[in-house]
Amino acid sequence: FFSFPEMHGISFRIQISVKELLDTDVLLKLLFHLPVNYPSSLPDISVNSDQLTRAQCMDVKEKLLEQAKKHPSEPMVHNLILWVQQHLKDVVKQSATVCNEKATLSKGTEDGIWMLLLHLDHMRAKAKYVKTVEKWASDLRLTGRLMFMGKIILILLQGDRSSIKEYLILQKTSKVDVDSSGKKCKEKMMRVLCETEVQSQHKRFQTFEVKEYSALEELQKEFETAGLTTLFSEFVPPLLK
């Protein structure tokens, strides 16, 4: 039995492990805010998980709200939790398929070239940060783009899988930026949006370039030219919200 004081929702945290999908346990944090007239009006749901992309969390939330609408006027939180435990795999798989479009190539062609899309929250010491990223890309023989559009900062890299992994370690462990007081600091606000093998329909970037885009259309064109339309539509628009 729950009482619902005016302002307080109840937050549920549940851990669901989705082993075969991501080789890790997915810790899904679900926050249900139950309005005063619940269940005649739907709960407010927010979904967070360190192991899922923001887009995947949004997918899970949308699917939960769809389920909630199927239980009008009956207590539904328990049903929703059961539903997400059973269906998380499918929801995440659907949004992950965009990223891991089935390799139509037999392994071995392309020598396993991988692609990485990163989102950075901000760069305080921009000039220095950009130089560092350029140097790492050149040292590790990675090609791609460092892209600025408005507040959005994306790094798209292509290269050997081992080099991509090494880049990620550098990006996470080196002091690449400065904090608000001007002290050197590590990158804490980076998200890996996608890491996948380059497919035959993807164009290979020949160089690593830093580019500024004045409009979303320009940024989209960059992705489209590289045969990465799906990647763009899956991961970039949610960043504008």
Q: 127: part of which helix (H) or strand (E)?
A: helix 126-139
CATH number at residue 201: 3.30.70.100
Q: 149: part of which helix (H) or strand (E)?
A: strand 143-149
Residue 42 lies in a domain: yes
Within this chain, do residues 41 and 123 fall inside the same structural domain, yes or no? no
* 18, 25, 172, 181, 193 from 51: Cα distances, Å: 10, 8, 16, 31, 11
Distance CA 18, CA 2 (A): 30
Stretch 46-55: mean pLDDT: 80
Q: 196: part of which helix (H) or strand (E)?
A: strand 190-197
Mean predicted lDDT score pLDDT of the chain: 81
Residue 70 lies in a domain: yes
Within this chain, do residues 92 and 121 fall inside the same structural domain, yes or no? no
Please report the DSSP string for 14-79 in residue order: EEEEEHHHHSEEEEEEEEEE--TTTTTSPPEEEEE-TTS-HHHHHHHHHHHHHHHHTSTTS--HHH
Residue 175 lies in a domain: yes
pLDDT of residue 104 exceeding 50, the answer is no
Q: Look at residues 96, 125, 154 and tell me which one is the last residue of a structural domain.
A: 96
pLDDT given at position 96: 57
pLDDT given at position 2: 47
Write the pLDDT tens digit of every residue in 115-139: 999 999 999 999 999 999 999 999 9
Q: Look at residues 96, 122, 140 and tell me which one is the last residue of a structural domain.
A: 96
Residue 103 lies in a domain: no
Residue 102 lies in a domain: no
Distance CA 175, CA 182 (A): 12
Within this chain, do residues 136 and 47 fall inside the same structural domain, yes or no? no
Place of tokens 């969390």: 57
pLDDT of residue 105 exceeding 50, the answer is no
pTM for the model: 0.56
Percent pLDDT > 70 in the chain is 81
Residue 31 lies in a domain: yes
pLDDT given at position 217: 94
Compute CA 135 distance to the chain's CA centroid, rounded to the nearest angstrom.
Answer: 25
Within this chain, do residues 117 and 177 fall inside the same structural domain, yes or no? yes
What's the token pair of residue 15?
A: 């851990």
Domain containing 171 equals: 113-239
What's the token pair of residue 64?
A: 């939960």
**Least confidently predicted of 6-10, 99-103, 141-145:** 99-103
Residue 101 lies in a domain: no
Residue 145 lies in a domain: yes
Stretch 213-229: mean pLDDT: 92
